[in-house]
Copies of this chain bind each other. A is one copy, B any other.
Amino acid sequence: MATGRTHRPATRSRGIPEATVARLPLYLRALTALSERSVPTVSSEELATAAGVNSAKLRKDFSYLGSYGTRGVGYDVEYLVYQISRELGLTQDWPVVIVGIGNLGAALANYGGFASRGFRVAALIDADPAMAGKPVAGLPVRHTDELESIITDNGVSIGVIATPAGAAQQVCDRLVAAGVTSILNFAPTVLSVPEGVDVRKVDLSIELQILAFHEQRKAGEETSPAQETAVAATAQPRSGAGVRPAPGGRKGPDGDVPAVMPA
């Protein structure tokens, strides 16, 4: 999923490759866990395993940030945590607004991973007047009318859209007009935004459909497209392809195309 869009070739002169940026949070999480266990240093091999990636890839990723490792020893956990946090911009506080407080919006509002990672829910916004004032996750829901003032008053630059598909573009337009320049879209719609605004999209339906594709392939390799619900417990994966040396007989997810993408 390259930046294949109305955007610059993503080759920012000072730029870290998009693929690397997408993995930094993964490393950060693994490092944070090590930090809490007071582990002083970690090798690329260990950290790579913890993050579920290849060690060579990890080293190359870190090489874009600078030379923070010590040969023969590994990486200093605390130092690396700081460097990555700084690189991702997590050393500052990012106020975000969540628009659309339905089941999903409420779930997002209750998500604990916000505060611990530099994000703060500035406000919850919903179009339903009946929701106004109602407390969700400790915050009173504000009505859509206040959207613009909330954005400007709090200096919000990141917005999360969790509305039905039909309302997404309209909400998006208002967010952008009010000054938001980064949007995380949960609505199953293609959003149009002006130049300079980043959009990432998360779509459950698409994820499931991709899984279904692979599942179908696994389940019925020779079977006709008839209905088949019974799943053999011992699915025999075709052995045609060369077997990759899997550590411990298990494989961590070594690659993945997120359902999110720049727009």
Find out whether the CB atom of B110 lies under 8 angstroms from the CB atom of A257. no
Alpha-carbon separation in the docked complex, A102 to B111 (Å):
10
Closest to A178 in B: B233
Find out whether the CB atom of A32 lies under 8 angstroms from the CB atom of B234. yes
- Which residues on B sit within 8 Å (CB–CB) of A18? 257
- Oligomer: number of copies: 2
- The answer to whether A181 has its CB under 8 Å from any CB of chain B is yes
How extensive is the interface on chain A, given as a class?
Answer: 35 or more
Query: Which of these, B89, B103, B201, B213, contacts A89 with CB under 8 Å?
Result: B213
Alpha-carbon separation in the docked complex, A137 to B103 (Å):
11
Q: List 23 interface pairs A-B (beta carbons < 8 Å), by A numbering.
A: A1-B255, A2-B210, A2-B257, A4-B53, A7-B242, A11-B240, A32-B234, A50-B190, A82-B230, A82-B231, A88-B212, A91-B229, A104-B257, A106-B243, A116-B235, A138-B243, A158-B215, A187-B257, A190-B252, A201-B253, A203-B260, A205-B256, A205-B258
